[in-house]
Structure 1
Amino acid sequence: MQIMNDQKKIEILQKIIQINSVNSNETQVADYISSLFSKFPEVDIQKIAYAPNRDNLVLTIGKNKGPMLGLTGHMDVVAPGNLEDWNYDPFSATIADDKVYGRGATDMKSGLAALVVALLELLEHKIELPGKIRLLATVGEETGEYGAAQLTKEGFADNLAGLLVAEPTSNMQNIVYTARGVIDYKVKSYGKTAHSAEPQLGINAIDNLIVFYHLALERLLKFNKTDPVLGGVTHNITKIKGGEQVNSIPSYAELMGNIRTIPDYPNQYFYDELEKIIAELNQKEGFKLAITYSFPEEAISGKPDSQIIKIAQKTHQTVLGSAAKITGSSGANDGAEFLQAKGDFNSIELGPGSNTSHQSNEYVEISDYLNAVKFYKQFALDFLQNKQIRKTISETD
């Protein structure tokens, strides 16, 4: 069987970038990845439907009893924005200056492609694995991590020995073990319309929403602890709209807020505080407010000295010739969902990519991507062969 050269590895990355999976259409990505493994009958391939044209993909290789390492990456990308701001078509995967340009090149199709290629190389070389490797390719990470939530609920992450999330971490130079959580919420305000010349006959939904706005910003300030790695809690009102026309008292208004949490404060603290504000205001005459949440994620506390980090550090030094920085991430990732699966395991975040996530002219260095392939392949072997990992798994069998 012909072994892949670097050009083929780059072509796989380009093909995945060229599939437009902006908040949808992940099935086409899943189908393409599946096709790469179809010549290996020993691979277990499962597509798990979330919605039409939105399939998660779960690939499992290895048959020997032993630990199972989870690898994960998401297949969706954010919208490219103003196309005039791009030097190349965002779905062309153009190569220039030793970089691959395109939407998702950094976040995170290069990480996903590197995982795929690493598994293909293990199969092509017919390496006998001392355990199993499971690739969890998800839908909807950018808009709520609901693909990861579905796979977790259905048991695909149960009893993993460890999880690697291939999100970009400063050109593979950082190993992330802890991450902020996120709460996106929406508050709806219902009023009563009236002519603006006679406002006393109506109830101004915008005015009532502004009262909530100020109370929420003020009261959440009490969550003021600072995490030594992640920093403090952040809370921002990021979207607001309301009203029907300029000469009418608005009967409806809404706002959306975004909270980034830290391990010291479970999300329930914020739910309780926000709902207390809503309840207090609804006791007042003319107020009718309601709050909902969109796919909140708990913060990942992690352990800076966990076994998976020690293994990753050693592999990083061996393969990339440098010591990785052990740090945290201000953004949430699919690991927050997968860590809720059965069993006790730790996750790390480590992947290729530049600081151009969600920006125009997003790119990944080709050398960075190829290094990620080398790292993932060796890390999987180092992890599954690790005596401490194997001992822990045998004790729980």
Structure 2
Amino acid sequence: MINVRSRGFAVPFLQRLIGADTCNPPGNEHGLSLLLQETLQELGIASTITAVEEGRSNLEAVIAGSGSRKLMFCGHLDTVSPWSAAAGRYPPHGAVIEGNRMYGRGTSDMKSGLAAMLLAAASLHQDGIRLAGDLLFLATAGEEVDSCGARLYAEQHRHDLPLLDGLVIGEPTGSRVAAGHKGALWLRISLFGRSAHGSMPQLGLNAVEGMMELIALLHRHALEWQAADPVLGSSSLSVNRIVGGVQTNVVPDYCSIDVDIRTVPPLRHGPLLQEIEDKLQEIQLLHPEYRYQVEQLLDRSVVYTDPGQRLITAALEVVAQRGDKEESTGSEEDKGSLGRSVSSEAEVQGVPYYTDGSVLHDNGRLPVLIYGPGDPRLAHQPDEWVDIDAYLDSISFYRELAIRFLGTVQE
């Protein structure tokens, strides 16, 4: 029987995932869904593919157990765009192995986590371990843009989400336990003025210059509502895109900015958006000839799970247990470094990026754990890579977490 946790199986399996181009846009996740379904079928596990859009789909599988408890492993199928040949040394979909690293788009974010969760679930089935509850596996389309796959799943399973007891997201955390992430509110603010000849600016209403005043107001306002959380970090506001002007000798009548706001408790997006719109109204009173428009591009809620929740404590127990085993078998020099590593890893942290957890956490009721073998600093970077040993270790982590959280039944 094939050992799905072995290096000989798990590494080529991840290489196949990296070789599948699911860069979003456009996504094309359906081909990868079929690849995962084929692997699960070979291992005797049934799965379901659900169409999201043309060429895009989710995949679901269940390792059925005894009892009412339910745990979900969730990861996304898509990646961001590939890097150019000039930007990186390795081909984005080559899955090249050099030393103990595998290079390729999605190795860190997050096909390594996705592969590890699937193989962990498959190994439990393969070994005949009867869990005292159901283990669900969900692979989603579109997380990198609009979470279209997770949103469709949430709509179609709105009566099932309240039945879940825990959700594990395999995003990159450097193999550390993360209990949540910041919220994300993306806004596009447009300013409309009046064009004129560049030699007669007094006849126009310069939208670019007006936007400069608006940007300064946003930053002043951000200081007023800035918040900090001991786990999730600090809120932030960043103007990351600006569009305006036609040519050098034309006073611009239009300018727009895209604003990326990251939030932590106690900030809430609804009241925050209203505050921003109120501030814009104040500017409008001072400059009535301008017209403003605010569009909401993205709204992802804060995800935070109390570290005392069983899902988080179980994860910390697995990390500590695995660290103790490594320390007991290492050299005296290794034991010192491993001891420091385990102590550091045992600290619960938050991650700065958002995940599908903000769509699936049932309005904050569902405990969410974020844990993956990739390094979050490598996400979206040229020559993205994952440490192969970390990937293999994460398969065992997810497997032991499911056993510890759901329990087992002796037959």
Greater shift in the superposed pair: 178-187 or 227-236: 227-236
Give the 5 Å matches for 1:61-100: 61-100=63-102
- Residue among 257, 270, 273 paired with 1:271: 273
**Residue 309 of structure 2 aligns with which residue?**
306
**Residue 381 of structure 2 aligns with which residue?**
359
CA RMSD of aligned residues (A): 2.0
**Residue 11 of structure 2 aligns with which residue?**
10
- Residue among 322, 342, 345 paired with 2:366: 345
User: What per-residue deviation string (whole Å, max 9, x for no partner) do you get for residues 6-64 of structure 1?
Assistant: 21111111111111111111112211111111246653x23233222221222222053
Greater shift in the superposed pair: 373-382 or 270-279: 270-279
Give the 5 Å matches for 1:226-237: 226-237=228-239
CA distance in 2, matches of 1:205, 1:167: 40
Letter in 2 for 1:77: T
* TM-score after normalising by structure 1: 0.91
**Residue 292 of structure 1 aligns with which residue?**
295
Tell me how far 1:208 sits from its aligned partner: 2.5
**Residue 333 of structure 1 aligns with which residue?**
355
Matched, 1:19 2:23: no
**Residue 105 of structure 1 aligns with which residue?**
107
- Residue among 27, 32, 35 paired with 2:38: 35
**Residue 394 of structure 1 aligns with which residue?**
none
CA distance in 2, matches of 1:289, 1:189: 5
- Residue among 217, 221, 224 paired with 2:223: 221
Letter in 2 for 1:288: R
Partner of 1:279: helix, strand, or coil?
Answer: helix
CA distance in 2, matches of 1:184, 1:127: 45
Which ranges in structure 2 are unaligned for 5 or more consecutive residues?
325-341
Tell me how far 1:375 sits from its aligned partner: 1.0
Matched, 1:382 2:404: yes
Partner of 2:68: helix, strand, or coil?
Answer: coil
Matched, 1:161 2:165: yes
| Aligned residues between the structures | 383
Which ranges in structure 1 are unaligned for 5 or more consecutive residues?
388-397
Instruction: Rate the CA distance shift 1:31–1:305 in 2: closer, same or farther, 3 A.
Output: same
Letter in 1 for 2:288: E
Tell me how far 1:346 sits from its aligned partner: 0.7
Greater shift in the superposed pair: 284-293 or 137-146: 137-146
* TM-score after normalising by structure 2: 0.88
Matched, 1:261 2:283: no
CA distance in 2, matches of 1:84, 1:382: 46
User: What per-residue deviation string (whole Å, max 9, x for no partner) do you get for residues 186-233 of structure 1?
Assistant: 111222222112223332221222222111111121113321223321
Partner of 1:238: helix, strand, or coil?
Answer: strand
CA distance in 2, matches of 1:50, 1:320: 41
**Residue 181 of structure 1 aligns with which residue?**
183
Partner of 1:83: helix, strand, or coil?
Answer: coil
Percent of matched pairs sharing the same residue? 28
Tell me how far 1:318 sits from its aligned partner: 2.6
Matched, 1:319 2:303: no
CA distance in 2, matches of 1:95, 1:41: 29
